[in-house]
Amino acid sequence: MKAYDDLMRFQRQTEALGQVAGRLGWDQETMMPRGAAEQRGEETAAMEAVLHARRTDPRIGDWLARIDAADLDEVQRAQIRHIRRAFERTSKVPAKLAEEIARVTSVAQGIWAQARADEDVAAFLPTLSRVVDLRRQEAAALAGEDGDLYDALLDDYEPGATGASLEAMFSELRPALVSLRERLLGAEYQPGKLDAEFSEIGQLRLSADLARRFGYDFNTGRIDKAVHPFSSGSGRDVRITTRTSPRDPFNCFYSTIHEVGHACYEQSIDPEFGLTPLGRGVSMGVHESQSRIYENQLGRSRAFCGFLYRRMAEEFGDFGVRDAEAFYGAVNRVNSGYIRTEADEVHYNLHVLLRFDLERDLIAGRLETADLEEAWNTRFHKDFGVAVDKPSNGCLQDVHWSVGLFGYFPTYSLGNVYAGCLHEAMHEAVPGVEAELARGETTLATNWLAENVQRGGGLHEPRETIRRATVSEPGVAPLLRYLEAKFTDLYRL
């Protein structure tokens, strides 16, 4: 067991350094003085160099070779599975290529941001082509002779998932969502919108209250403001950010609840797994299932909206919405916007599916970057019934591809699919959830999720994590049942 112990000691230190690097990122988005940006670049690069050297340290290979799986218990085997997978991935990619990817993507984000500001797709294309090319090379190194390029990339975010399995799942989702959105937008009854100003201090106070109500532990976390909401850190230091907008308090509240979902996952993992590979959320898809079920199935439920309506009235006085049902409609209003991050529950996955298909084609070589804009606009028109008016509302809207994130998008929809499965299973297992939500409490729901999904961290593979919680094979049917029931009811169809 000496090799195992040595390896875990080394890994533990690497995990601790990873937390430090993560906290540096948090600081950059929340606390860092503006003028420190350039110096911070060097500090971040130095941390990355240290982490990269540790992750590719040949001693890891030696330790792994000397460990006999027969000597290990279930937890230890899971630890080794994670370490081995990460080490094999980094070992397969030539150092030169890894450096070139880091170099190119570090400048690509700035070029993308400028192109988006200028509404100039052509200015971004050479960079995008280079990023696609490099990621294809990396995928080829990872996939080996017979492997699929896209699957190799996807494996970084969602171990065990394949492009083909996701495609099968999403091909059921898409027509049902298109049909649903058409019926809703054509319905006679259309919910109203908020039309008032909401103080920043009130939004932040209510936001903190919501975080507590959803189980966020302030003893091992904190909330700050940032341009883009995010959750950061694992174990005993999991911080979230939110933002405010004077006329759109839902942006603040549901960003907070979403990030609380991510953060509670990290905070609820068995403390025994702290600073080990099992001590982090197991995949992007499972992570997103938690943030989305907190935000949508719980936070946007009729029961919780009833509570939130009264709570907002307490905080802001009369804000011009006549009753709880009108409020529920305002929270869940469906409309076909261009922007993924602003999309409602019905449209959100259509945004993701579009990106999934296009990025798979880019990586497979079936789509040239030169044809990306046209492909995007054609598909958007087909699924949303609207023509894209400008690139910043179209193929230039997301940062992901500029920084090389191919294979990441589908985990958003996979998370929604998993959230649908979990929601249905939870309702069968814990009957009192809705009654509690109506009182602004979430303990039954969040405890069930903590116990059945979150606590295990990386102990089981992602899909297996969901399967164990729901005691059935994950699929899109529960999500579709949920959306169909919720929205046809809300739209009085």
Minimum Å gap between C-beta 26 and a second copy is 9
* CA distance to 256, 305, 315, per residue, from 201 (Å): 15, 21, 10
Is residue 339 at the binding interface for a second copy, with CB under 8 A as the rule? Answer: no
Rounded distance between C-alpha atoms, residue 46 and residue 40, angstroms: 10
Tell me the C-alpha distance between 434 and 441, whole Å.
9
Q: Looking at beta carbons only, is 28 or 447 nearer to a second copy?
A: 28
Please name the residues in contact with 365: beta carbons below 8 A apart, sequence gap of 6 or more.
136
Give yes or no for residue 39 binding a second copy (CB under 8 A).
yes
Distance separating alpha carbons of residues 388 and 344, to the nearest angstrom: 18
Residue 20 CB, nearest approach to a second copy (Å) = 5
Residue 70 has φ and ψ, to the nearest 5°, of: -65, -25
Site for a second copy contains 17 (CB under 8 A): yes
What's the rounded Cα separation, in Å, for the pair 275 and 235?
A: 7
Using the contact rule CB under 8 A, the part of the chain among 38-46, 95-103, 194-202, 247-255 near a second copy is 38-46
Nearest-approach distance from CB 267 to a second copy, in angstroms: 9
Q: What minimum distance in Å lies between the beta carbon of 12 and a second copy?
A: 7
Please tell me the distance from the alpha carbon of residue 277 to that of residue 458, in angstroms, as a whole number.
7
Strand partners, 242: 225
Under rule CB under 8 A, residue 377 binds a second copy: no
Contact call for residue 35 and a second copy (CB under 8 A): yes
Separation CA 18–CA 483 (nearest Å): 38
CA dist 352 and 413 (Å) reads 6
Beta carbon of residue 50, minimum distance to a second copy (angstroms, whole number): 6
Q: How far is the CB of 212 from a second copy (least distance, A)?
A: 14
Helix (H, G, I), strand (E, B) or coil at 221: coil
Of 43 and 398, the one with the shorter C-beta distance to a second copy is: 43
Binding residue for a second copy (CB under 8 A) from 3, 25, 32, 64? Answer: 32
Give the nearer residue to a second copy in terms of CB position, either 38 or 473. 38
Among 3, 23, 57, 379, binds a second copy (CB under 8 A): 23
- Residue 45 vs 471, nearer CB to a second copy: 45
How many residues lie near a second copy (CB under 8 A)? 37
The interface with a second copy within residues 264-303 (CB under 8 A) comprises 274-275
Structure tokens at 413: 């929809």
Q: Select from 6, 25, 27, 125 the one that contacts a second copy (CB under 8 A).
A: 27
Instruction: Write out the binding residues for a second copy, residues 44-73 only, by CB under 8 A.
Output: 45-47, 49-50
149-178 residues in contact with a second copy (CB under 8 A) are none
Burial class (CB in 10 A: 0-12, 13-18, 19+), 77: middle
What would the two tokens of residue 1 be?
A: 């067991």
Is 74 an annotated catalytic residue?
no
- Closest distance to a second copy from the beta carbon of 221 (Å): 6
Candidate residues 4, 7, 8, 19; the one interacting with a second copy per rule CB under 8 A: 19
Q: Whole-angstrom Cα distance, residue 413 to residue 115?
A: 27
Which of 6, 25, 40, 379 forms a contact with a second copy (CB under 8 A)? 40
Residue among 160, 155, 463, 416 at smallest CA distance from 291: 416
259, 266, 288, 345: the catalytic one is 259
Q: Which is nearer to a second copy, 15 or 373 (CB)?
A: 15
455-458: long-range contacts, CB 8 A cutoff, minimum separation 24: 455/268, 455/269, 455/270, 456/269, 456/270, 456/278, 456/282, 457/269, 457/270, 457/273, 457/278, 457/279, 457/280, 457/281, 457/282, 458/78, 458/82, 458/273, 458/277, 458/278, 458/279, 458/280, 458/281, 458/282
| 477 lies in the site for a second copy, by CB under 8 A | no
Residue 38 or 74: the one with the smaller Cβ distance to a second copy is: 38
Q: Do the beta carbons of residue 103 and residue 95 sit within 8 Å?
A: no
Quick check: 8 and 276 in contact, CB under 8 A? Answer: yes
By CB under 8 A, what part of segment 197-236 binds a second copy? Answer: 217-222, 235-236
Which window, 15-23, 67-75, 176-184, 453-461, contacts a second copy (CB under 8 A)?
15-23
> Scanning residues 231 to 260, which ones bind a second copy (CB under 8 A)?
235-237, 239
Q: Which of 307, 297, 313, 207 minimizes the C-alpha distance to 250?
A: 207
Q: Does 34 bind a second copy (CB under 8 A)?
A: yes
User: Where along the sequence are the contacts to a second copy (CB under 8 A)?
Assistant: 12-13, 16-17, 19-20, 23-24, 27, 31-36, 38-40, 42-43, 45-47, 49-50, 217-222, 235-237, 239, 274-275
**Which residues are the active-site residues?**
259
